[in-house]
Amino acid sequence: MQSTTHTNATDSPVKSEALKDNQFRIDAVPSGSALLVGDAAVFNVGGSFCATEAKCTHRGGPLNEGKLDGSTVTCPWHGTQFNVCTGAVLRGPATEPVKTYRVIVEGEIGRVEKEN
């Protein structure tokens, strides 16, 4: 005798809709960490989110891979430090600030707003 069984056990929750390029799940960015969202780096600074362009203004190092300490990120390539909420250079070698973007959070989803 043949019975039909459902082998499709992908227990996926309904809310796993596709994220847009500028969106992220806020639980993917715990406090003190960073995430690459499109070409922006999103940082969780003690529970609130700040975003900058992901590339360091010195030579394009990946700021989302830098060490975050409070609101200060250190570029992994040559050690420039930026304030991720204002974009200001805190320590060289970079001299140009990074662009910052607004982050909007709605429920579990965050969104990087670019205004250019």
| Binding residue for ligand FES, selected from 35, 56, 68, 89, defined by CB under 6 A | 56
Residue 107 Cα distances to 26, 36, 99, angstroms: 9, 20, 26
Nearest residue (CB) to ligand FES, 38 versus 93: 93
In terms of C-beta density within 10 A (0-12 exposed, 13-18 middle, 19 or more buried), how is residue 53 classed? middle
- Residue 8 contacts by C-beta under 8 Å, 6 or more apart in sequence? none
Judged by CB under 6 A, which of 50, 68, 75, 103 binds ligand FES? Answer: 75
Q: Which part of the chain contacts ligand FES (CB under 6 A), choosing from 5-13, 39-47, 78-86, 104-112? A: 78-86
Determine the Cα–Cα distance for residues 27 and 19; give it in Å rounded to an integer.
14
77 binds ligand FES (CB under 6 A): yes
| Amino acid in position 83 | N
Query: Is residue 84 a contact point for ligand FES (CB under 6 A)?
Result: no
DSSP-derived pairing of the beta strands 109-113 and 67-69: unpaired
Among the residue ranges 27-35, 73-81, 83-91, 104-112, the one whose residues contact ligand FES (CB under 6 A): 73-81
Binding residues for ligand FES, total number by CB under 6 A = 12
CB of 38 to ligand FES, least distance (A): 19
